[in-house]
Amino acid sequence: MDIRNIIRNVPDFPIKGIQFKDITTLLKDKEAFRYCVDQITQHCKGLNIDYIAGIEARGFIIGAPVAYSLDVGFIPIRKGGRLPYKVEKITYQLEYGESIVEIHQDAFQKGNRIMVVDDLLATGGTTLAVFQLIERLGGVVVGADFIIELEMLQGREKLKNYPVFSLVKYKI
C-alpha cells in the first residue's frame, strides 16, 4: 500500500520553514491505519520484545495497537511534568525548540527488551533521548520503528548504533 499519498503535508506548521507531516489523514483511513500497525507489528515479531515504548502523543496512537497485537505491555514516554509517579527525565534539542521526555522509574525490569515507536523520525533527537532514558534504567533498546522518516534531517545517522525501521521515507 502506498501511504505516502494519504499523509498530508502542511507547510509552515508550527513555524515557518517546517513541512509538517500530518498523519490524521492516515489515521482516519481504516485500511491505511491497519496497514501501518500491521507492518510495524510484523517487523517486531521474532525480536523477543518485552515492551513497546510509545512517545507522546502520536507514538501512543501507533505504539499501543502494536503492543496489543504483539501481546506485550505498553510504556508511555511523556513530555515533562505529566507522569504522576517517580520519573527519569532528559532535556534535548528538537527540530524546532527544546523538550523534555520522561519515563516512570518502574516502567520495566532491568534487562527487559524494549522497542520504541513514534510516528516520525526527524533529527532523531527525541528518539535518542528516549534510548538514553531506557538504558539509564537498565533496559535493552531493541530499536525504533516509525511510519515516516525525513531522510534529509539524518536521524538515522544520529541513531546509527541502533536498528531503525520506517515505512515511508521523504527526501525533502
In angstroms, give the least distance from the CB of 158 to ligand AMP.
8
Kindly name the residue from 56, 88, 95, 151 that is annotated as catalytic. Answer: 95
- C-alpha cell at position 132: 538514553
The residue (of 8 and 45) whose beta carbon lies closer to ligand AMP is 8
In angstroms, give the least distance from the CB of 71 to ligand AMP.
25
Best CA proximity match to 37, nearest among 60, 56, 21: 60
Distance separating alpha carbons of residues 38 and 146, to the nearest angstrom = 12
Distance separating alpha carbons of residues 169 and 172, to the nearest angstrom = 9
Question: Which H, E and C letters describe 77-125, residue by residue?
Answer: EEECCCCCCCEEEEEEECCCCEEEEEEECCCCCCCCEEEEEEEEECCCH
24 contacts 8 by C-beta, under 8 angstroms: yes
Kindly name the residue from 58, 78, 102, 149 that is annotated as catalytic. Answer: 58
In angstroms, give the least distance from the CB of 21 to ligand AMP.
4
Binding residues for ligand AMP (CB under 6 A): 18-21, 55, 58, 94-95, 118-127, 150, 155
The residue (of 12 and 31) whose beta carbon lies closer to ligand AMP is 12
Active site residue 95: yes
Active site residue 34: no
The residue (of 55 and 115) whose beta carbon lies closer to ligand AMP is 55
In angstroms, give the least distance from the CB of 149 to ligand AMP.
9
The residue (of 39 and 123) whose beta carbon lies closer to ligand AMP is 123
What's the CA dihedral at 106, 86, 146, 17 to 10 degrees? -170
Catalytic residues: 58, 95
